[in-house]
A = this chain, B = another copy of it.
Amino acid sequence: MNIYDVAKQAGVGIGTVSRVLNGSAKVKPETRERVQAAINQLDYVPHGAARSLGSGRSHVLGLVVPFFTRPFFIEVLRGVEMAATAHGYEMVLYNVETTTQRDHYLRQLPMRRRVDGLLVVSLFCDESEAERFRKMNLPVVLVDSYNPLLTSLVVDNISGARQAVEYLISLGHRQIGFVNGVKVGSFNFNKADDRMSGYRQALANSDIPYNPEWVSATEWTRAGGREGARQLLLLPQRPTAIFAASDVQALGVMEQAQAQGLRVPQDLCIIGFDNIELAELLNLTTVAQPMHEMGKQAVERLLAEIECPQPPQTVMMDVTLVHRSTTAPLAAPNVSAFSTASVRDGVWATQQNIITEG
């Protein structure tokens, strides 16, 4: 069952069938109908690989993403999936969990020419790799990562962090901790730097001195957040608010606060970063990234680039602070001093509001 069968059935040449399949204009309507009928009758579906080989187009997008099960990536993924499907593209997933894997994919994929374009999420991409993409003529869009040679969609991490901390300051906080994430090898988790900048900017803008003791860098995980919070909260002079570099870490902070008998937000305010689903669930104040939108835009820019080469562009995505219940005006010192009484049951004060929101 191939294109010749269809041609015979319809009484036309294979060229005509191909033109019908690809919707090119130069087919007489009547002929088109005849071909279409044959296609339906034979239940014919063109052979993907042959098509790719013939045309040099696969209609497949590659998606290189680290730890795709993490909420942030899932959300981006979803945006990508929707946009890709909408444009008739398939999506193949390359999950990266080690540096070796990263290198492997970034090196082999361009040449295998199986994908029409590559979306690289949150992974650092060096000059030589970018150069190689160009040379291989493989369109690439970076999401949550930056390289001057490639179209990059980045989130305004500096501004996001600044907004978060400024908000805490506006609530009266002066002792503001920061549980940052660590940079990990060639993963582009060095948004850490930017978030740090934002943190310091906000402090500086309000003439609050920077206290390195109130900053820790941990894994981007729940355990990491817990550990980071412990460091800060056991200090003789502890922060009254903590900004965490991710929601997942913020969750760890909440756990640690609870373990130490601190009520949130009365005794400790917390702000996260990302706005993953869990944040809404726990009523966590956080900096929202437009993850879905990023995925979508990334696909659209990539498709544009596939259509015809575009100059590399850097798109800054806006970030917004979502006010929920892990933040509140700084309580008067004497009040916050008491209040370990009701912790008996393991209170997350924040959760009171869950119901009202849904």
Residues of A within 8 A of B (CB): 43-50, 52-53, 58, 60, 68-69, 74-75, 77-78, 81, 85, 90-95, 108, 111-114, 222-223, 226, 251, 255-256, 258-259, 263, 278, 281, 342, 344-355, 358
Instruction: Give min CB distance, A314 to chain B, whole Å.
Output: 28
Do B85 and A258 touch across chains, with their CB atoms under 8 A apart? Answer: no
User: Whose C-beta in chain B lies nearest to the C-beta of A1?
Assistant: B111
Which residue from B81, B222, B259, B354 sits with its C-beta under 8 Å from A93? B81
Which residue from B114, B342, B345, B349 sits with its C-beta under 8 Å from A352? B345
Instruction: Give min CB distance, A116 to chain B, whole Å.
Output: 11
Do A255 and B354 touch across chains, with their CB atoms under 8 A apart? Answer: yes
Contacts of A344 in B (CB 8 A): 342
Interface of A is mostly: helix
- The CA-CA distance from A226 to B74 in the complex, in Å, is 25
Do B45 and A112 touch across chains, with their CB atoms under 8 A apart? Answer: yes
Q: Given known contacts A53-B49, A85-B95, is B355 in contact with A258 (CB within 8 Å)? A: yes
Q: Lowest 7 A-B CB distances belong to which pairs? A: A346-B352, A49-B52, A48-B114, A45-B111, A259-B355, A345-B347, A49-B53
Contacts of A91 in B (CB 8 A): 92-93
Do A349 and B346 touch across chains, with their CB atoms under 8 A apart? Answer: yes
User: Whose C-beta in chain B lies nearest to the C-beta of A91?
Assistant: B93
Do A358 and B95 touch across chains, with their CB atoms under 8 A apart? Answer: no
